[in-house]
């Protein structure tokens, strides 16, 4: 499931055109991709919509990497 979410993250970031999606891994930090807090919020929002989950605001601001976002979404899906 995490691999599927990673592919979704890559698709979302590919649409933006600022990031080489093929270089994105679970360890990639938003900062490395020059994604600011607004960009990370938008990414998380798209993941919430796609997977029908809600990440609490406090948790959203703790997410700083692709892997952290994926793990949080996966956790919420499993616990539905």
Give the global pTM: 0.92
Write out the residue range of the structural domain in which residue 34 sits: 2-78
Cα end-to-end distance, the chain, whole Å:
14
Q: What's the total number of domains in the chain?
A: 1
Q: Find the CATH number of the domain harbouring 52.
A: 1.10.1200.10
pLDDT in tens, the chain (80 residues): 999 999 999 999 998 777 888 899 999 999 999 999 899 999 999 999 999 999 998 999 899 999 999 999 999 999 98
Contact 46, 52 (CB under 8 A): no
């Amino acid at each position: 499931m995490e691999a599927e979410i990673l592919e979704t993250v890559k698709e979302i970031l590919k649409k933006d055109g600022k990031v080489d999606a093929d270089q994105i891994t679970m360890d990639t930090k938003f900062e490395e991709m020059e994604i600011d807090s607004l960009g990370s919020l938008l990414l998380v929002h798209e993941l919430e919509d796609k997977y029908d989950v809600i990440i609490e605001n406090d948790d959203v601001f703790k997410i700083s990497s692709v892997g952290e976002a994926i793990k949080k979404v996966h956790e919420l899906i499993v616990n539905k």
